[in-house]
Structure 1
Amino acid sequence: MNMNMKKISIAVMMFAVMVLLAACGGAKEDENTSSSNESTDKADVVEVKHELDNNPVKVKKNPETVVVFDFGMLDTFDDLGIEVAGLPKANIPAYLSKYEDEQYENLGSLKEPEFEKIHALKPDVIFISSRQADLYDQFAEIAPTVYVGLDYAHYMDSFKHNMNLVADIFGKEDEVKEELAEIDERIAAIKEQTTDFDKEALIVLGTEGKVSAYGPNSRFGLIHDVFGFKAADEKIEVSTHGQNITFEYILETNPDVLFVIDRDAAVGGQASAKDSIENDLVKKTNAYEDGAIYYLDPSYWYLSGGGLLSMKEMIAEVEDAL
C-alpha cells in the first residue's frame, strides 16, 4: 500500500470514529432528555386510586377546566379559591347560590348529568360521588374522573383523604393542612363535652310526613361516631336512606336529644318536618320536654356534607346544640 492510500485509510478511520462518538453522544442526550421529560411528566401528574377503577386515574396537576358533581367538593373548591367550569345546577344549596350564575355551565342534575354538555367543555378532570357512581364509565370516557364518595363508617378518614387529594391536585397543601387542624381542634372540644354526656341522641330524616332513623356508621352517624353522642338505639339498620320508623318508635326510644334533618326543605319543598314531628307522641319524649330538638340545616347535612365549608358548619350546629 502506497503512502497516499495509507493517508486515505487513516482519514476514513478517524471520520468513522468521530461519527460513532457523535452518535453515542446524541443517543445519551436523547436518553437524558427522554428521562427528563418522563420525570417532568410524572411530577405534573397525580395518580388517584379509587374503588370505581382498577387502574390509577392520572390527573394533571392544577387542572384548568374542572367539572364537579358533588356539592361537598364544590364547597371545598369555593373555600380554597379553586375555579370550576360546570356543575349540576338543580338543587344547589343556598350557601353556594353564586354558582347559579351563567358563567358556570349547567350540567343537569346530580342524578341526571347532561353528558353532551360535559363533553363540550373538554374538562381536565371530573369529580363525582356516590350519587353518580353507576355512571362512572360514561364520565371516564370524557375525562379523568375522580370518585370522592364518603365512607360513612370511617367518616373522618375518608373526608381527610378527599381533602388531601384536592390539596395534591391543586397545590393547596398548606391551606388544607391548616383547615384540617382547625377542624380536629373543634371536634376534640366537642368530644370533651360529650364524653361525660349522659344523654342519648336520635337522628331522624323527615320527608312528606314520614320519618327514618340513622344510627352509628350511617350517613349522618358522625353525630355518634365523630362527635361522641351516645345513640338512643344502637341497632338501627345502616342504610343510605335510613331505617323507616314510626312516631311510636320515637316515643318508645325516648331520646334525650333529637336531631332532625328536613329533606323536603332541601329539595325545594315546603319545610314540613317540624309540623309533622312535633306531634302528641313526640311531645311526650325527654327531648321535647327538655327543649332538645334540633333542626339541622339540610343544605349542609343532606345536599352536601364532606366539604370544608359544610364540615365547619355541621360542627357549628353541634356546638350550638351543646
Structure 2
Amino acid sequence: MKKLTLSLFALILMLALAACGGAKDEEKPADNAKPEDKPAEESKEVTITHELGETTLEKNPEKVVVFDFGTLDTLDELGIEVAGLPQSNVPGYLSKYEDEKYENLGSLKEPDFEAINAMKPDVIFISGRQTDLYDQLSEIAPTIFMGVDTANYMESFKENMGKIATIFDKEDEMNTELAEVDASIEEIKTKTEGIDSNALIILATEGKVSAYGPSSRFGLVHDVFGFEPADEKIEVSTHGQNITFEYILETNPDILFVIDRDAAIGNGATAKDSVENDLVKKTNAFKNDKMVYLNGEYWYLSGGGLQSIKEMIKEVEAGL
C-alpha cells in the first residue's frame, strides 16, 4: 500500500512538471517567427539633415540652447522650454527670455563657450551668424543649423518648422500653424495680383540706407507676397545694396517698405526722421501715404519664426 501511494505521488509530480514545461514552451516565440511579428522598440533618436550636415540627437531634448531668434520665437509659440540663449538684443516680444532663470550665453556673434559647455545642453540651434562656429559647438552638443534660404524663403521656412516638429513631437500643431500661414499668404497674393503698383524695400540705420530686391534677405515681399519690384536689378546680398536717397527718388516706388534697424537694436534712434527727407517726400510712396514702416524685431532680428512670419504678413498687408 505504501509503495502504491509513492508510485501515485511520483506520477502526479511528473504530470505537473510536464504541464509546466508545456506552458513555458507556449510562452516562447516560435523559432521561425518573422522579425515583424515581434514587438519593436520605438527609436528615441532622430537624425536631422540641415545645410551644415547631419545631426543625430534624442527626441524631446530637455536642455535646449538657442542662438537663432527665429527658432526661439517658434519654440515659444509651441510652448517648448528653453534653457539658455544670448540675452543681448532679444526682441521685445520675447523679452521674458531676458530673465535670470535662463542662462546668458554671450551674444549672437560671440557665444560664451565656457558657459555653454558647463550647461551640457542636449541640443544647440544656430543660424547664419554662427556658421563658422558649427564645428566648435558640435563638439559640445548636437548642433542644428536653422538659417532660412532667402531665395526659397517659404520652402526653407517650412523645412525648419518640420525639423522642430519632428524633434519635439509637434507635427499636428505645426501642420495647423502652417496651414494658417499659407491661407494668410494666399489672401495677400490675391490682392497684389490686382494692383498696379511697385514696391521698394529699404533697411535704414544711422542715416544710411540699403535696398533689397527679389531673392534677398527681405525679398519675400516680392517672391512670396507678390509685390512687383520697383527695381529688378538690385544686388542680392546679406547686407543689401548701398543706395542714396537720390536713388529712391529716381526709382520712385509706389510703395516704400522701410525696415528700421535702429529701433530693432534699441540704440534710441528711429529711421523716420532721416528717411522722410525732402527727396523722399517727392516720391509716389510718400505722396500717396504708402510709406510702410516694418518692425525690425520681426524682420531683422527674428525672421523665420512662427510668430514673426504672422506679424510680417500683417505688416506687409498694410502696404495694400
By the TM > 0.5 criterion, same fold?
yes
Task: Among all aligned residue pairs of Structure 1 and Structure 2, give the percentage whose two residues are the same amino acid.
Answer: 68
What runs of 5+ residues in structure 1 fail to find an aligned partner? 1-24
Q: Which of these residues, 295, 298, 309, is aligned with residue 297 of structure 1?
A: 295
Q: Which runs of 4+ in 1 moved over 4 A?
A: none
What is the SS of the residue equivalent to 2:217?
coil
CA contact (8 A) 1:209 1:272 kept: no
| 1:19 equivalent in structure 2 | none
Paired residue secondary structure (2:111): coil
Select the residue among 56, 67, 82 that pairs with 1:84.
Answer: 82
Partner of 1:10: none
Q: How does 1:124-273 map to 2 (within 5 A)?
A: 124-273=122-271
Task: Return the alpha-carbon distance in structure 2 between the equivalents of residues 263 and 298 of structure 1.
Answer: 6
What corresponds to 1:100 in structure 2? 98
CA drift at 1:79: 0.3
Indicate conservation of the 8 Å contact 2:292/2:318, yes or no: no
Q: Which residue of 280, 286, 307 maps to 2:305?
A: 307
Aligned to 2:15: none
Match of 2:118?
120
Amino acid at match of 1:310: S
**Unaligned residue ranges in structure 2 (runs of 5+):** 1-27
Q: How many residues align?
A: 288
TM-score normalised to structure 2 length: 0.87
8 Å CA contact 1:203, 1:259 repeated in 2: yes
User: Which residue in the other structure is 1:48 paired with?
Assistant: 48
Which residue identity is paired with 1:107?
L
Q: Which whole-Å deviations, capped at 9, do the CAs of 1:261-291 have from their partners, x for residues lacking one? A: 1111111212331111111110000000001
Partner of 1:68 in structure 2?
Answer: 66
CA distance in 2, matches of 1:211, 1:116: 38
CA deviations 1:277-314 (Å, max 9, x no partner) are: 11111000000000100110001000001000001111
Which secondary structure does the structure 2 equivalent of 1:48 belong to?
strand
Structure 1 residue 321, shift from structure 2 partner: 2.5
Q: What is the DSSP-based 3-state SS (H/G/I as helix, E as strand, rest coil) of the residue aligned with 1:321?
A: coil
TM-score by length of 1: 0.87
Select 1:286's aligned residue among 281, 284, 287.
284
Would you say the 8 A contact 2:72–2:305 is kept in 1? yes
Give the secondary structure class of the aligned counterpart of 1:149: coil
Q: Is the 8 A contact 2:86 2:106 kept in 1?
A: yes
1:155-176: per-residue Cα shift (whole Å, max 9, x none)? 0000000001111000000100
Deviations 1:107-138 (A, max 9, x none): 01100100111111111100000110011011
Shift of 1:316: 1.0
**Cα shift readout 1:167-218 (whole Å, capped 9, x = no counterpart):** 1000000100000000000000000000121100000000110000000000
Q: Deviations over 1:82-112 (max 9, x none)?
A: 0000000000000000001111000011001
